[in-house]
């Protein structure tokens, strides 16, 4: 099987795509996988570190406000359809999978023009604009949260799958506590350690708040 993944922007879009690619190759070792992303996005580092090839298209992120930047974004997104079409024609995938984000628009439009079936995966409880617009023509929309189905206009092809991870339960149990503490530079801390985990682009701001607002007390 030959599969193309479209992902860009944040780890919430990229990591599930990598996890699905890993699963496909685990189930069918002869499969071939290709990623499509943007030239300067985080996907380049994550995808290459995972050992996969990535190719780039032009596209643009539509802002939810009146701005001239949206005109440029629309022009680049339109150009991206032709970029994606060329990549798909060369790779000849059996299936295209998009994990949300603005890059899905051009890639799925190109797949539709070439009559290549596509699937979508939405990790968020509130589906993004791209998934909402593309859901109707997708063979299946895989959801990270069951509640997300109620927020899609097209519900018949939506199925709750959860969000795939690049690591499994067995990987967690293999971790050595002392090695983890040393890697994080926490080996000399004799207080309780609290892990706060967040997602998407709000994580940076939450980290800043935690760093400045939390007071550690004994007890």
Predicted confidence band at 200 (pLDDT cuts at 50, 70, 90)?
low
Count CA atoms closer than 13 A to 116's CA, side-chain side. 23
> 109 or 102, which is more confident?
109
Q: Decide if pLDDT at 118 tops 60.
A: yes
Q: Decide if pLDDT at 201 tops 80.
A: no
Q: Decide if pLDDT at 207 tops 80.
A: no
Please list, residue by residue across 19-35, b when 16 or more beta carbons sit within 10 angstroms of its beta carbon and e when fewer do.
bbbbebbeeeeeebbbb
Q: How many other C-beta atoms can be found within 10 angstroms of the C-beta atom of residue 11?
A: 17
Q: Decide if pLDDT at 155 tops 80.
A: no
3-state DSSP percent of the chain in helix, strand and coil, to 5: 45, 15, 40
Average pLDDT rounded to a whole number, residues 87-109: 95
* Alpha helix (H) residue ranges in the chain: 11-27, 43-49, 69-91, 104-113, 129-134, 169-173, 177-183, 203-213
Average pLDDT rounded to a whole number, residues 185-194: 83
Joined together, the tokens standing for residue 40 give 């300067």
Average pLDDT rounded to a whole number, residues 54-74: 79
Mean pLDDT of the chain: 87
At a CB cut-off of 8 Å and minimum separation 6, what does 110 contact?
A: 81, 82, 84, 85, 88
Kindly report which listed range (23-27, 138-142, 163-167, 183-187) carries the lowest average pLDDT score.
Answer: 163-167
């Amino acid at each position: 099987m030959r599969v193309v993944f479209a992902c860009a922007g944040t780890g919430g879009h990229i990591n599930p795509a990598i996890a699905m690619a890993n699963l496909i190759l685990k189930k069918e070792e002869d499969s071939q996988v290709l990623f499509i992303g943007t030239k300067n996005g985080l996907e380049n580092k994550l995808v290459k570190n995972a050992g996969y090839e990535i190719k780039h298209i032009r596209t643009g992120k539509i802002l939810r406000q009146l701005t001239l930047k949206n005109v440029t974004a629309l022009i680049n997104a339109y150009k991206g359809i032709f970029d994606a079409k060329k990549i798909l024609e060369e790779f000849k995938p059996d299936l295209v999978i998009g994990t949300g984000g603005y890059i899905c628009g051009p890639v799925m439009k190109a797949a539709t023009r070439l009559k290549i079936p596509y699937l979508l995966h939405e990790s968020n409880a509130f589906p993004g604009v791209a998934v909402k617009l593309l859901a109707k023509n997708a063979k299946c929309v895989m959801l990270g949260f069951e509640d997300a189905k109620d927020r899609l206009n097209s519900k018949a092809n939506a199925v709750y799958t959860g969000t795939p991870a690049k690591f499994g339960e067995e990987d967690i149990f293999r971790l050595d506590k002392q090695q983890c503490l040393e890697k994080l530079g926490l080996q000399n801390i004799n207080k309780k350690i609290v892990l706060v985990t967040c997602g998407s682009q709000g994580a940076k701001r939450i980290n800043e708040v935690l760093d400045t607002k939390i007071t550690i007390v004994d007890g």
